[in-house]
Amino acid sequence: MKLSNFSATMFTGSLLLAAPLAHADTLDVHMSIPKDLTFLADSAKLMDKTLREMSGGDVGMQLYGSGELVPAGEILENVSSGAIPAGWSFLGQWGGKVPVAQIGATPFGAGPEALAAWLHVGGGLEIVQRGFDDLNIKVLACHITAPEPGGWFNKEINSVEDFNGLKMRMGGVGARVLNEFGASAQFMPAGEIYLALERGRIDATEFSLPIIDKDFGFNKIAKFQYYPGWHQPGSVDVLMINMDVWKGMSSGEQAMYEAACQVSLAWTLQYAPAAQTPQIEVFESGGTIVKTFPDEVLAELRVATERVLSAEAEKDPVYGEAYHSMKAFVASSGRWTGLQTIPAE
């Protein structure tokens, strides 16, 4: 995608006139989520803390929550143009504009550890970066989210026919898979989900982990929570830095950003798993019915997923390279994991 594909806005123009790309050595980072959001925003705060400790306070990030200065859906184009120096978001949010970004969450794909390894050891991030080069954006993968629930529903899902006519908030490729079964699934920014569900504009939603969903109160208006999160077994959030800003940093500053990014990513892998079960139990005590999708439903979703992903891989060569690279990496590490699995008692 060429930069010229983006339409300029008066808002962007005012930012260009009103603010420099970055002040001092503090990088202004505009997030697609509220900056006080549990876990998802905490990793960005940890990265800022690590940068300041590493640099003696000379380098850090000033975080702005969703909508504070830039609407969540306009972060990509504003970072690209240089109107803002940096943004923090779910990678898959930009799949409609940057096809390879769809790899940020792959249905029935890599789990958290495998996704992190593929990005940083298996060459995945280099492929993703090529998709952002024309946009003048440097991408750092600094957050991995554990497998998410399959979603919040106000009805039971007993067969794929139950998806027919369902209006659901879902991001990424998973939405297109559900739409294969007659659903109307589409992405919606975090701040809009609760009201849409409460007012009946959507019938169901997925968002994130239980410890995050609690802050949005989805359990107050949806009866069922389904597992597993077939649509997002692992997902990545990224720090996107305008390439001119990135190249304007010293090699030492760049090294600090990359190291602090790894600290943040490691924390997300360590923190998430144990924190979820207590919150699920809180949901259940409040009346939430926790269920798993029937095996037959998951089997049909898997078949549809393969069909959708194969078509996407054929349409865009960079996404195709990323998809096949990730599949091969997961298969290779999966055999090792399988050989080392100790049977349960």
Q: What is the DSSP string of 114-171?
A: HHHHHHHTSSHHHHHHHHHHTTTEEEEEEEEEPPPPSEEESS---SGGGGTT-EEE--
Nearest to 236 by CA among 320, 138, 141, 147: 141
- Give span(s): CATH 3.40.190.10, the chain: 151-232+279-340
Asked whether residue 161 carries a pLDDT value surpassing 70, the answer given is: yes
| pLDDT in the model for residue 345 | 76
- Give span(s): CATH 3.40.190.170, the chain: 10-147+233-274
| pLDDT in the model for residue 25 | 87
Contact predicate 319/100, CB 8 Å:
yes
Query: What is the CA angle 79-83-89, rounded to 5?
Result: 30
Please, what is the angle between helix 251-285 and helix 42-55, to 10°?
150
**Mean predicted confidence (pLDDT) in 29-52:** 96
AA letter at 61: M
Yes or no: domain 10-147+233-274 corresponds to CATH 3.40.190.170: yes
Contact predicate 107/230, CB 8 Å:
yes
What digits encode the pLDDT tens for the residues 270-295?
Answer: 999 999 999 999 999 999 999 999 99
Asked whether residue 171 carries a pLDDT value surpassing 80, the answer given is: no
Query: What is the CA angle 245-47-264, rounded to 5?
Result: 120
Distance CA 331, CA 22 (A): 42
| pLDDT in the model for residue 91 | 96
Asked whether residue 11 carries a pLDDT value surpassing 60, the answer given is: no
Q: Which of 11-20, 68-77, 149-158, 219-228 has the lowest mean pLDDT?
A: 11-20
Distance CA 206, CA 40 (A): 15
Other Cβ atoms closer than 10 A to 4: 7
Distance CA 99, CA 76 (A): 13
Q: Please indicate, yes or no, whether the overall pTM of this predicted structure exceeds 0.85.
A: yes
Identify the CATH class of 151-232+279-340.
alpha beta
Which single residue is written with the structure tokens 């139990």?
281
Distance CA 102, CA 186 (A): 14
Distance CA 119, CA 313 (A): 18
Which single residue is written with the structure tokens 């992903």?
309
pLDDT band with cut points at 50, 70 and 90 for residue 179: very high
| pLDDT in the model for residue 295 | 98
Nearest to 100 by CA among 326, 328, 331, 321: 321
